[in-house]
Amino acid sequence: MLNRFKKPFLGLFLCLLGGLSFAQSGRFQQSVNYEMEVFMDVETNQYEGKQKLVYSNNSPDTLHRVFYHLYYNAFQPGSMMDVRSRTIADPDRRVGDRIANLSPEEIGYLHVSNLTVNGKPAQAVEVGTILEVNLPEPILPNSQAVLELDFNGQVPIQIRRSGRDSAEGVRYSMSQWYPKLANYDEQGWHANPYIGREFYGIWGDFDVKITIDKTYTIGGTGYLQNPNEIGHGYEDAGVIVPEPAGNTLTWHFKAPMVHDFMWGADPKYQHDKVVMDNGITVHHFFIPGEKTSENWEKLKEFTPKAIAYMSEHFGQYPYKQFSVVQGGDGGMEYAMSTLVTGERSLPSLVGVMVHELAHSWYHGVLATNESLYPWMDEGFTSYATNLTMGAIFPRREGNVHQGSYRGYISLALSGLEEPMSTHSDHYHTNRAYSSAAYSKGAVFMEQLGYVIGADVRDRGLLRYFNTWKFKHPNVNDLIRIMEKESGIELDWYKEYFVYSTKTIDYAIKEVKANGDKTELTLQRIGLMPMPLDVVITYKDGSQEMIYLPLVIMRGEKGEEAGAPKRIHTEDWPWVNLEKTLVIDRKMDSIKSIEIDPSKRLADVQPENNKVEL
Ligand SMILES: [Zn+2]
């Protein structure tokens, strides 16, 4: 997630959440306020805590049950994550059979006891990674309930995302560590077992106190409330931090308007702080060494640059801090922070930071349900990453989205593709998931610029963020914004590109002379219809464009900056497989004709898109 620098914003967001127009649209949003205290024993790697949660049921429904996620129970032999990781056709090598081989001291667990609702004991059953709770009394519509519990956990050996003693030697990567209430929305409960991927949470304010051995430095979500007591690089300039009386320190964090809380902890962390002109503080936490120190020093230049670029292009980062924390097993996004592996080359380190930071917009602030719409998070994050990297870390010439197009087209031609509407845990292969979510999701956005015009898409993306931030938009919400911004109907684009695996393939079938004119016949071979930009290049070097929107768009895009002059616009009803056009010039004056030289159309057979005469 990102950060924001002015307090009034947060207040405004809260007002919007309860706003009338949102409720009138038939949508509602639950809210939570967590207070947690946790004690971590760094010898046993076990922790104990208390949680008090004030839950606001803003739905029109009476709730008789609630569900909590207990993610650490996934890291046990025989868990759903274990079985799935071993039996999927193309296992994630970070997991494979590692869970099956964990000893009792190495597994993870998270158990809940003494659960009460408004002071009354509640019955709860632990079913793997979900706690099913029968409420002693129902929670009525538009009312609040106080849920209190004790929890105890063991941090698993680092396998996936969170854990202890990572491959790079980071002691604690504490994500998915606390009992987390499942979300309930207009589609009901989302009590998905933790099998593999992605999350969906409820916004609220977190107040977290972590007690841990005093040698450990913590970085992650939230704002430290007692920096001058804690030190570890958080103290104000010039402050002498008193030596703690005992062996532990209690770190007190507050995090307003987030849907998750992560922390990383290690006694060897170096903590660097950069304060941006707009007041946002960037924190870096890494273990100094030959493979880290030099590149993490350089990273201090790029994280602020990336925050500034993304705030300008995708919407203002709404928090006051962002922390890049060495830990985890690759790169993973959390509220106001990320866990990334740190022993990387500079391009790789900057690339992973930019990607995880970009999640602050799509995972953090828009927070689409990532299980149901992983492409709206990973895909748009990849799209934003491509552009940001192109702007702040120029490495190569050419189209920054090229890799995303290659990934999608390779999947489409592989026979393994599944529709992007597939639930992220239910894809048949890891490859189909990742190429759809990351690559096709990015292509969706870049290609949308081809359909409605790049500048209109850019404005639409900002409008999408500003309209739907902190509201969990779904695919229809996005499409409606883009329709309103462009004046073009886009339901067909969603239905083909998201809900089906039909592909795009247009071709130039024939070019022939007809006296002083030239006849051009185009062909639709693929099952997905698209508007066409057909560019004619003449032997004198000049270019002209024929534009063929679809009838079902009920509109057309405006002239795009840098595109050749449009000489002709004509609808192409999608049912027709061929279309013949007459060009008012002699064939021998034409050098070449090409469908979409901008290469934004995700045509799976681009070889037949161009004819040289
Ligand atoms: Zn990602």
The span from the CA of 406 to the CA of 93, in Å, is 23
The span from the CA of 230 to the CA of 247, in Å, is 13
Q: How far is the CA of 345 from the centre of ligand 1 (A)?
A: 19
- Among residues 556, 550, 546, the alpha carbon closest in space to that of 580 is found at 546
The span from the CA of 287 to the CA of 268, in Å, is 6
Q: How far is the CA of 312 from the centre of ligand 1 (A)?
A: 20
pLDDT of residue 23: 56
User: What is the value of pTM for the model shown?
Assistant: 0.94
The span from the CA of 316 to the CA of 310, in Å, is 8
CB atoms near residue 14 (< 10 Å) = 16
Label each residue of 75-102 as H, E or C. CCCCCHHHHHHHHCCCCCCCCCCCCCCC
Q: How far is the CA of 369 from the centre of ligand 1 (A)?
A: 14
Q: How far is the CA of 293 from the centre of ligand 1 (A)?
A: 25
Q: How far is the CA of 356 from the centre of ligand 1 (A)?
A: 6
- Three-state SS at 557: coil
For 149-191, what is each residue's pLDDT tens digit?
999 999 999 999 999 999 999 999 999 999 999 999 999 999 9
pLDDT of residue 24: 53
Cα atoms found within 13 Å of the Cα of residue 227, Cβ hemisphere only: 12
For residue 119, what are its two tokens? 């002071």
pLDDT of residue 394: 79
Q: How far is the CA of 332 from the centre of ligand 1 (A)?
A: 7
Q: How far is the CA of 496 from the centre of ligand 1 (A)?
A: 24
pLDDT of residue 143: 97
Q: How far is the CA of 55 from the centre of ligand 1 (A)?
A: 29
Q: How far is the CA of 289 from the centre of ligand 1 (A)?
A: 27
Q: How far is the CA of 449 from the centre of ligand 1 (A)?
A: 22
pLDDT of residue 22: 61
Q: How far is the CA of 387 from the centre of ligand 1 (A)?
A: 15
Q: How far is the CA of 380 from the centre of ligand 1 (A)?
A: 9
The span from the CA of 315 to the CA of 309, in Å, is 10
Q: How far is the CA of 322 from the centre of ligand 1 (A)?
A: 16
Report the amino acid identity of residue 94.
R
Q: How far is the CA of 603 from the centre of ligand 1 (A)?
A: 25
Low-confidence ranges of the chain (pLDDT < 70): 1-25, 396
Q: How far is the CA of 534 from the centre of ligand 1 (A)?
A: 35
Determine contact, residues 46/154, Cβ cutoff 8 Å: yes
Q: How far is the CA of 385 from the centre of ligand 1 (A)?
A: 10
- Among residues 181, 135, 220, the alpha carbon closest in space to that of 31 is found at 181
DSSP 387: H
- Burial bucket for residue 569 (CB in 10 Å: 0-12, 13-18, 19+): exposed
Q: How far is the CA of 59 from the centre of ligand 1 (A)?
A: 30
pLDDT of residue 16: 43
For residue 185, what are its two tokens? 């929305």
Q: How far is the CA of 352 from the centre of ligand 1 (A)?
A: 9
pLDDT of residue 17: 46
pLDDT of residue 129: 98
Q: How far is the CA of 354 from the centre of ligand 1 (A)?
A: 10
pLDDT of residue 93: 87
Q: How far is the CA of 531 from the centre of ligand 1 (A)?
A: 30
Residue matched to tokens 């570890």: 232
Residues with CB under 5 A from ligand 1 (ion): 378
Q: How far is the CA of 355 from the centre of ligand 1 (A)?
A: 6
Cα atoms found within 13 Å of the Cα of residue 214, Cβ hemisphere only: 12
The span from the CA of 439 to the CA of 432, in Å, is 10
Q: How far is the CA of 149 from the centre of ligand 1 (A)?
A: 32
Determine contact, residues 493/445, Cβ cutoff 8 Å: no
